Chain A
């Protein structure tokens, strides 16, 4: 759908829904919110709903950064210590690489 052709109130409501939806463990949704509404929020001339859209985009970006940090930390820990954890590591693993310890 094209953002150009919908009225501002709908844009705001769409941005809000994407923001609220992202709380259900959906950082990807927050990413989409940031990328899609970035131009609307920051690069367009001001209109009434813009400050609110801007706040939603900023909050989505913040949430996204937090999630990325958490996931990166977990993935690093897992990949590094998986072999050492023995049984717990295997239990957590979906695929176990062959040929390594």
Chain B
């Protein structure tokens, strides 16, 4: 089957990791003495994971000013973010791996291919296979680049209706068509009789409530769940329809592309970020997963309005390609309303693009499909989580939109190939000789 172009593009826009807003308030505040910004600098550089087990400096902070409490909160919230992103990424991967292992449809190779990978790999000749997988990758990446550039151009020229329509069409397809296919295959695997009326009700309800939650307003947890589900569905489609070697090369190529597009000054995704910053508006609902957390920050000093405004501007900037519109509107609305009061409710979280979910799951899913046993799958899973941790660490240091794919995918690929070729034969021969370590 051929997926539409909107799919290729929409998953691309999703590859970025964005911090919701800057966590350290005192450094923007001129009223504080110089010692505080220095301490905040060192605090920021300290890895978020160790923030919890260093009571000394934290105590020092606590004793100094009321903002010392915010420092503590900053550290704790940094570590919390890592956990809050681990859970959805893990869930997505679990769904994909469970489906791959149980429903054989997604591992059956068909002669159908996506139009993005037109060259068929011939299993007999290594050289030809390699060449064709490279060609497939070039086709796919060029399609992605073209789509991204079109998107940036559309955004620059304010064709919002077109972009929104495109996004809605693409999520419609995901929520209705792909989930219909998925359900059909699951029922066939478990040999369950299903009638059309009940199926129609299920798909209709799932799809419509999904559209409402993602594009309009809905409970946060439900929205997160839907985003995880559609990422998993998309990853399954990729696992099924990408040829073997092409998939691995595409994974590598797209993480390089992600790196270039987000970090280079003329990269399309970076231009998107900057345009959004200039216009100070959130972009593109339904392309980003947000792990929002709310807590009350009490601020009693008179610089409240200044720091609130600063934070508003920073949030507008840090929202990079995507934004959960309803949440951000509510967040900004809430902040404007409450800025004069002493208690300030803030919504902080890290946003991870859906493309990242998709490609992480593709990697782990392919490891589960072709890797042979659970060692490889688990190794890839751990590798991706380590990469995500490191990326979040870098995010805490640099505080701007970062590509989330490169580190994780690199670790994942390294772990996959080394586990498959080194660890697995080792474990097998250990088991064969009954030698337990």
Which of the segments A44-52, A53-61, A88-96 contacts the partner chain?
A: A88-96
Instruction: State whether the Cβ of B209 lies closer than 8 Å to any Cβ in chain A.
Output: yes
Interface residues of A in 60-90 (CB under 8 A from B): 71, 74-75, 78-79, 82
Given contacts A1-B219, A2-B292, A29-B209, A98 and B331 within 8 Å (CB-CB): no
Instruction: State whether the Cβ of B345 lies closer than 8 Å to any Cβ in chain A.
Output: yes
Instruction: State whether the Cβ of B162 lies closer than 8 Å to any Cβ in chain A.
Output: no
CA distance A97 to B184 in the complex (A): 12
Which chain A residues border B199 with CB–CB below 8 Å? 94
- Name B193's contact: one of A4, A32, A82 (CB within 8 Å): A82
Interface size band for B: 35 or more
CB contacts between A and B, total, < 8 Å: 86
Instruction: State whether the Cβ of B347 lies closer than 8 Å to any Cβ in chain A.
Output: yes
Q: Mark B89-113, 1 if CB is under 8 A from A, else 0.
A: 0000000000000000000000000
Which chain A residues border B217 with CB–CB below 8 Å? 1, 14
CA distance A74 to B199 in the complex (A): 12
CB distance from B103 to the nearest CB of A (A): 13
CB distance from A6 to the nearest CB of B (A): 6
A94 and B184 contact, CB distance less than 8 A: yes
- Name A95's contact: one of B192, B204, B324 (CB within 8 Å): B192
Given contacts A26-B208, A36-B219, A94-B196, A71 and B201 within 8 Å (CB-CB): yes
Q: Chain B interface secondary structure, helix, strand, loop or mixed? A: helix
B201 and A25 contact, CB distance less than 8 A: yes
A5 and B209 contact, CB distance less than 8 A: no
Interface residues of B in 291-350 (CB under 8 A from A): 292, 294, 324, 326-327, 330-331, 333-334, 345, 347
Interface residues of A (CB under 8 A from B): 1-2, 4-6, 14, 21, 24-29, 32, 35-36, 71, 74-75, 78-79, 82, 92-99
10 A-B pairs within 8 Å (CB atoms) are namely A1-B327, A2-B294, A5-B294, A5-B333, A28-B209, A29-B209, A71-B198, A74-B197, A93-B195, A94-B187
Besides the contacts A92-B196, A95-B193, what 15 more A-B pairs have beta carbons closer than 8 Å?
A2-B347, A4-B345, A21-B212, A25-B204, A26-B209, A28-B206, A28-B208, A32-B209, A32-B222, A82-B193, A93-B195, A94-B195, A95-B184, A95-B192, A96-B193
5 nearest A-B residue pairs (beta carbon): A28-B205, A97-B191, A95-B187, A5-B334, A92-B195
